[in-house]
Chain A
Amino acid sequence: MAQSQASVITDEMRAVIGKESEPVTYEVDNTGCRQFARAVGYTDPVFYDEKAAKAKGYRGIPAPAGFLGHPVVIPGQPARTAEIFRLNVPFTRILNGGTDVEYFDDVCAGDVLTARSKLSNLEEREGRLGPMLIVTTETAFKDRSGKVVAVMRGTAIRY
């Protein structure tokens, strides 16, 4: 593709690729699992009733697919891992381009996960909405024992 305008990807931005963020704590709790399950329309009692969940072999109420808890938000500190990669780009709008979550174990209420993100790639494209920057990130979620229980790969479209 011919470059009709200067790249928005600076050397400073390229230098961030591959670097790991500071850890962010995610808490998985009963209320969070229930609220997420309700939002997605689940009716399976395992997502609402701890007894039902345990009867089906879970340690507690399981986190529905796509839910890895809520980040612990403290004013003045990064609220979400993705915000650590604040990119200085001339785009104000953002769209979610894709989500890929892989699980290596059950995630259940009561779990406290430590998430570290990496900026995996930056790519410029000309889209329907004009010039776009495709930002891909990878976040690994570890449980208290240090085991990676899930990896989330996300694509954000800045335009």
Chain B
Amino acid sequence: MAQVYFEDVKQGQEVPPLVQNCDSQRLVFWAAGSGDYYQIHYDKDFAIGTGLPERIVHGALKHALLGRLLHEWIGDQGRVRRVACSYRGMDMINKDVTCKGVVTATRRENGDNLVDLEVWTEDPDGNKTTPGSATVSLPSRS
């Protein structure tokens, strides 16, 4: 992937969006990968029994997808420094989760070239279900 440099990033710049469908296999993959085996994410009867309409996407999977959104944008020399998000709305199984980001600030701190972003996920109706913020570091051209 192409390297993004600090000098090329401007406030208001959008990160190329990431779309991930979250079917039952994806949620089971996540259960195994994360160690979160709560049944509301893969057992339909269990989910409905707790009052949910269906199995829901793990919040932490959406957090991790926001991390992937950033990793795939910043290139080999970039590093994800912070990913924070709130799980405001539920995302249902078998739907696409779309991750987006926009640059809110750029700053140099202790020799690091840092970029702050607003990041979020959207459901297929365009609702922001997981608003958050993030910081990445990028290499400098100089």
**A interface residues, Cβ below 8 angstroms from B:** 35-42, 44, 46, 56-57, 64-67, 70-71, 80, 93-103, 106, 129, 153, 155
* Contact status A65-B29, CB under 8 Å: no
**B interface residues, Cβ below 8 angstroms from A:** 1, 20, 26, 29-30, 32-35, 38, 50-51, 58-61, 63-68, 70-72, 76-77, 79-87, 132
CA gap between A41 and B68 in the complex, in Å: 8
* Contact status A66-B86, CB under 8 Å: no
Main secondary structure of the interface of A (DSSP, over half): mixed
CA gap between A100 and B76 in the complex, in Å: 23
7 A-B residue pairings within 8 Å (CB atoms): A38-B33, A40-B30, A41-B20, A67-B34, A80-B35, A96-B59, A103-B81
CA gap between A37 and B65 in the complex, in Å: 10
CA gap between A56 and B79 in the complex, in Å: 12
Q: Which residue of B has the minimal Cβ distance to A101?
A: B83
**Closest chain A CB from B79 CB (angstroms):** 7
For B51, what are the chain A residues with a Cβ–Cβ distance below 8 Å?
A: 93, 129
For B72, what are the chain A residues with a Cβ–Cβ distance below 8 Å?
A: 44
Q: Which residue of B has the minimal Cβ distance to A35?
A: B33
For A102, what are the chain B residues with a Cβ–Cβ distance below 8 Å?
A: 81-82, 84
For B85, what are the chain A residues with a Cβ–Cβ distance below 8 Å?
A: 98-100
A36-B34, A70-B35 known; A103+B29 contact, CB < 8 A: no
* Contact status B84-A66, CB under 8 Å: no
